[in-house]
Amino acid sequence: MHNRLLMNQHTLKKNYYFQGRGLHTGTYAHMKVLPAPADSGIIFRRTDLRGKPVIEALAENVSNTARSTTISHKDTVAVTIEHIMSALTGMGVDNAVIELDNIEVPILDGSARLYVEAFLKDGLQDQGVPRRYIDIPQSLEIRDDRSGSWVRIEPAAAPSADITVDFNSKILGIQSAHWDLGTDYAHEIGVCRTFVFFHEIEYLFRNNLIKGGDVDNAIVIVENPVNEEQLSSISSLFNLPGLKITDEGYLNNLQLHFPDECGRHKLLDLLGDLRLSGGYLNARITAYKPGHSINTKAAKALRALLK
């Protein structure tokens, strides 16, 4: 067994506060991330609803995967949970309660950076109880023949994840990203922001899908030729005059942290979605064209296999 696996459970040392708009619903939420007892896992609590109902962050509670991961239990819903789930996982937090006073987790800067910076500053609380790694009895593969996506989970001596993304985009090309116990999640994956193609933005707005989107929280890829009229229409949509297209083919609203930031963000999402398997996977994960739908299906299949 890998030495790094002989580790105790950890929770946060204090309460953390975040606030902002949700990317998809546009609703403003205040969020608290709180320490939790050993063996309690990750739980979302809706403080704005009567009785403050909770939802366990488990794959069987996934109710929607249209452009983000939503979990629900009866009438209680939490939208876009993947970035905070990824941050807790990447930073080694076993147990936490996430309190929300609205339906959607704030998008913040489109990455897990603000969570990671907050947890890093204080370190974690060792809970003196061994971490329960999820060892899998056999390999598992989930495929989507329509998109060509697949996620494979195989038994391993230590956890790792390798992904390849291919959007058939001349700007992005084919990008891959890797994570294992030696990876500096905070600086190499946690800071990588979500992204969208320019041609999708108008459609998404018309279909009420990115009401909270602004150009501080997404990388915008300009795949197809864009005229001045389209640029100024997006400028006014985001209330940001003077948007331009860089030589690399991105909107100039922000600077990339890495040339393959989009691929790394897909890895960030995968780590968050697979945490819905109920803990830390001691497995080798490989994925081609991962997305919330196939990621969470893999977590569900894994939960079923373990039962």
Instruction: Taking residues 129-139, report their average pLDDT.
Output: 93
| Averaged pLDDT for residues 17-28 | 92
pLDDT at 225: 87
So where are the chain's domains?
3-132
**Thinking of the domain 3-132, which architecture would CATH place it in?**
2-Layer Sandwich (3.30)
87 contacts 18 by C-beta, under 8 angstroms = no
Q: Is the pLDDT of residue 211 over 80?
A: no
pLDDT band at 1 (very low <50, low <70, confident <90, very high): very low
Q: Report, as residue numbers or ranges, the catalytic residues.
A: 292
pLDDT by residue (tens digit) across 231-243?
887 777 777 788 8
pLDDT at 2: 40
What value does the mean pLDDT take over residues 116-145?
A: 95
pTM of the prediction?
Answer: 0.94
**pLDDT (tens digit, 9 = 90+) per residue, 241-290?**
888 888 889 988 888 999 999 999 999 999 999 999 999 999 999 999 99
Closest by Cα among 25, 112, 33, 13 to 64? 25
